[in-house]
Amino acid sequence: MMDVELDWKPRIVGMGGTTRPGSSSERALRAALDLAERAGAETHLLAAGDLELPVYAPERGALDPRAARLVDLVRRADGVIVASPGFHGGPSGLLKNALDHLEELREDERPYLDGRAIGCIVCAAGWQATATTLAALRSTAHALRGWPTPLGVTINSTPGGEVDPIAAAAPQIGVLVDQVVGFARWQRAAELEHAS
């Protein structure tokens, strides 16, 4: 890689959480973004307050300013990490609506999430809900032309003793972050090689 590229930082956008302060999915997302920063990435957090958007309706025209910010951050992102609670077997409506807003990227040079790794984290009160929600998130990432990381992290947030479930999942979150950041760097190297 050229010397100028040593300073290149992949931009990773994290979105998710719930409206409940201190939710396990938001804590897991913050932990992932912290690890991404330690790995040399520039990160942007879109927590629940940033994702409380009007229901996506393309016929409305101009986007809500918060939705426009979401679309702009993802447009410039080299990777995305999403963290959702498991709500009745799928991701929260809050997160799904945010992902639906990415339809606005359809005409971009890199449409939707094309060429970006998508790390999926799911927290739920039980393993069954984590598995079905992870499958749904991965399907949505595929539909948006993203590359779900080989590892998706599921966290059973049901209280079970003195162990913090987010801390217990730290090794898996680390692998997921390595895959998102590593893929972004690989893509950048491939673009530079293709351009030369």
Is the pLDDT at 186 greater than 60, yes or no? yes
Residue 188: other Cβ atoms inside 10 A: 15
Dump pLDDT digits (tens) for 19-32.
888 899 999 999 99
Cα–Cα distance list, 55 to 3, 18, 29, 96, 159 (Å): 45, 16, 23, 10, 33
Report the alpha-carbon angle 186-31-86, nearest 5: 95
Which range marks the domain in which residue 116 is found? Answer: 3-195
Domain count, the chain: 1
* Percent of the chain clearing pLDDT 70 (strictly above): 95
- Those residues whose C-beta lies under 8 Å from the C-beta of residue 105, and which sit 6 or more positions away, are 71, 74, 75, 111, 112, 113
CATH number of the domain to which 100 belongs: 3.40.50.360
For 87, the token pair is 């709500």
Label residue 2 by pLDDT band (50, 70, 90).
very low
Judged against a pLDDT cut of 90, whether residue 193 lies above it is answered with no
- d(C-alpha 56, C-alpha 175), whole Å: 33
- Which tens digit of pLDDT belongs to each residue from 54-112? 999 988 888 999 999 999 999 999 999 999 999 888 899 999 999 999 999 999 999 99
Geometric angle at alpha carbon 46, from 43 and 52, rounded to 5°? 170
Q: Which residues pair with 153 in a beta bridge?
A: 121
117-167 pLDDT tens trace: 999 999 998 888 899 999 999 999 999 999 999 999 999 988 666 678 999
